[in-house]
Amino acid sequence: MSLVEVVDVSKEFKSGEETIRPLDGVHLTIEEGDFVSLMGASGSGKSTLLNLVAGIDEVNSGHIFVGDTDITELNRGKLADWRAANIGYVFQTHNLIPVLTAYENVELPLLLLPMTASERAKRVEIAMAAVDLTNRAGHYPRQMSGGQEQRVGIARAIVANPTVVVADEPTGSLDDDTTEQILSLLQRVNRELGMTLLMVTHDADAAQRATRQLRLERGQLVENGKPILPRALRTA
């Protein structure tokens, strides 16, 4: 059974009188341990698809299964609980909480989960070590470079050992050297920690670092030049 199944998902927006439908009956399956990159033109709906999988946006139709859970059926409160336990989100602009130190930012998602303070501390230390920022634990975001901030963002995304890590253009605001560091880090997260990743990018080189490369074209997903068709679908 696939870890993530996107089943006939459509999403539309109103723009004045016009209705835009970036996702039009999209199908996608992601297996456990996959590192999937998602490319597409600006406005093609790649970030929208990522946000739907992350449970921070709502579909107009269709279903999204993550593990056994159809997240399109969850209300806002339960969806928030589900995100806390199952999703690690890496933002393009880091989005660290400015008043918290690197350590506190990484610890934040764990405060929502039932665990002891010592277990929490252990997990934060492991995550900080994984992104090689143990020596920056007490620094505030303003005291760090963009690359360091993004590494803290990745540590925050992986600290709760989520089912899926989603990354929305994680290297979009970084220089070449830092981009290379972040992509290597994401690859390590996938290979060494076995985490499933879905990464949106506009950078073809970055996309090549993933194990699967998808494109979103005219509301449909394309893999290896062929549209992704529905397969043995679950019934909603």
Partner 1 sequence: MLTFLPYTFKSLWRHRTRSLLTISGAGVALLVFCFVGSVQHGLFALTENQEAGRSLIVFQENRFCPQSSKLPQDYASTIAKQSGVADAMPIMVFTNNCRASLDAIVFQGMATDLLMKWRKLALQSGSWDGFARQDDAALVGKAVAARRKLKVGDKFTIGDITVAVAGIFAADNAADEGLIYTHLDFLQRARGLSDVGMVTQIEVHLNDGANADAVAKAIDEEFHAGPVATTTRTKGMFQADTLSDLAELIGFIHYLGFACVGLVLSLVATTTVMSVQDRIKEHAVLQTLGFRPRRIFGLVITESVVLSVLGGGLGVIGGMLFLAWSDMSVAAEGVTIAFRPSWDIAMQGAIASLGVGFLAGLAPGWQAAQAKIVTALRHA
Q: Interface residues with partner 1 (CB under 8 A)?
A: 51, 54, 56-57, 76-77, 80-85, 87, 89, 91, 95, 97-100, 104, 108-109, 111-112, 156
CA 87/CA 98 separation, integer angstroms? 22
User: Residue 164 Cβ, how far from partner 1 at the closest point, in Å?
Assistant: 13
- Surface-to-core class of residue 140, CB atoms within 10 Å of its CB (0-12 exposed, 13-18 middle, 19+ buried): middle
Whose Cβ is closer to partner 1: residue 88's or residue 213's? 88
Residue linked to tokens 């989960």: 113
List CB contacts of 192: < 8 A, sequence separation 6 or more: none
User: Residue 131 Cβ, how far from partner 1 at the closest point, in Å?
Assistant: 17
- Kindly state the DSSP code that residue 123 receives in the 8-state scheme: H
CA-wise closest residue to 207 among 228, 223, 220: 223
User: Residue 55 Cβ, how far from partner 1 at the closest point, in Å?
Assistant: 9
- Kindly state the DSSP code that residue 19 receives in the 8-state scheme: E
User: Residue 41 Cβ, how far from partner 1 at the closest point, in Å?
Assistant: 19
Asked whether the beta carbons of 141 and 94 are under 8 A apart, the reply is yes
Asked whether the beta carbons of 137 and 158 are under 8 A apart, the reply is no
User: Residue 171 Cβ, how far from partner 1 at the closest point, in Å?
Assistant: 18
Residue linked to tokens 């979009």: 172
